[in-house]
Amino acid sequence: MASIRLIVGLGNPGPDYAATRHNAGFWLVDLLSRQQHAPLRAEGKFFSLYGRAGELHLLEPQTFMNASGKAVAAVARFYKIQPDEILVVHDELDLPPGAAKFKLGGGHGGHNGLRDILSALGTPDFWRLRLGIGHPGHKAEVVNFVLKPPRKEEQDAIDRAIDHALDVMPDVLAGRLPEAMQTLHTRAK
């Protein structure tokens, strides 16, 4: 099994979006960049905030969610990173706050960031780390829901799920995804 070389956090740039549910991917990558001593800096050729620790590349696209694929494809091409060496961290409506799940491949489930990455890479065969944010209950409320900050108890649950995900990152980075999946799926439900 390939090891992960690129971890992409999805979100929207700027202070207006920083605390919104849609930025859960950014939250994890911010913490991971500190853990890995890989500060994120603006990198124009990748349309992103970008950091590197050895063979690990960290990315927060600054293109807004719907154009995330442009940034992911730019880094993947430049460093010759294969889709199965990419982990995309994103908010997930279909999981409750506090849940976190790994997944390889699949569709976009209506997530515009995933849709654009899938299109830009030309394949669904990349890893995802789905961070549960819950669902507002009605499809018509989804856009408003993801662009608002979570309630305090939801934020606490999301933060715990991110902590659990960070705990298994050594296994992820070593290419031991099945072990990381088993541990995370047991802890972050």
Q: pLDDT of 115-127, one tens digit each?
A: 999 999 999 999 9
- For the chain, give the mean pLDDT: 95
State the pLDDT at residue 1.
60
With bands split at pLDDT 50, 70 and 90, how would you rate the model's confidence at 22?
very high
Write down how long the chain is: 189
- CATH level 3 topology of 6-187: Rossmann fold (3.40.50)
State the pLDDT at residue 142.
94
Region 44-56: what's the mean pLDDT? Answer: 96
Q: Which residues are catalytic?
A: 22
CA-nearest of 48, 52, 57 to 113 is 48
pLDDT for 94 beyond 80: yes
Rounding to the nearest 10 degrees, give the CA dihedral for residues 79, 180, 126, 63.
Answer: -70
189: tokens are 């439900």
With bands split at pLDDT 50, 70 and 90, how would you rate the model's confidence at 110?
confident
With bands split at pLDDT 50, 70 and 90, how would you rate the model's confidence at 187?
confident
Structural domain spans, the chain: 6-187
